[in-house]
Amino acid sequence: MVTLAEFRRLASVDHVDLLKIDIEGAEIDLFGSCSDSELKEIGQITVEFHSFIYADQHHSVLQVLERMADIGFWVIPFRLDYSDVLFVNRSTGISASEIAYLRTFVKYSRAIMRRLRRVASSVAC
């Protein structure tokens, strides 16, 4: 295993527009190994935290969310269990109204569609 900084160095990656993180419970370790300046170089980060499986990680997930907000990211959890979180660097120029749109319309329309699919599949059975 390598750190994100080491991976970027090995791959000669100067800037990351979008980083998708789904590393089966090791997300907390990844954030812990990154400096604030490394994270600030990324435009957006999408994360699937696994605190819904590893309950002992819940507090650590909340600390990551707080840290990311403190260093300049919009924090958008799409699910109550933090299994789908988007961090958007405020330096990307995305406005507060666009973030509000993501936090409300997109988030809740996705939830409604999920529930409608469940109802439709249960009716079909």
For 15, phi and psi rounded to 5 degrees?
Answer: -135, 140
For 76-86, what is each residue's pLDDT tens digit? 998 888 888 99
For 2-56, what is each residue's pLDDT tens digit? 788 888 899 998 888 999 988 887 888 899 999 999 999 999 999 998 876 657 7
Q: Give the span between the Cα atoms of 15 and 57, in whole angstroms.
A: 29
Confidence of residue 101 (pLDDT cuts 50, 70, 90): confident
Instruction: State if pTM tops 0.85.
Output: no
- Per the CB < 8 A criterion, the answer to whether 10 and 2 are in contact is yes
Integer CA distances (angstroms), 26 to 34, 92, 99, in order: 13, 27, 27
| Domain ranges, ordered by start, for the chain | 4-92, 95-125
Q: Topology of 4-92 in CATH?
A: Translation Initiation Factor IF3 (3.30.110)
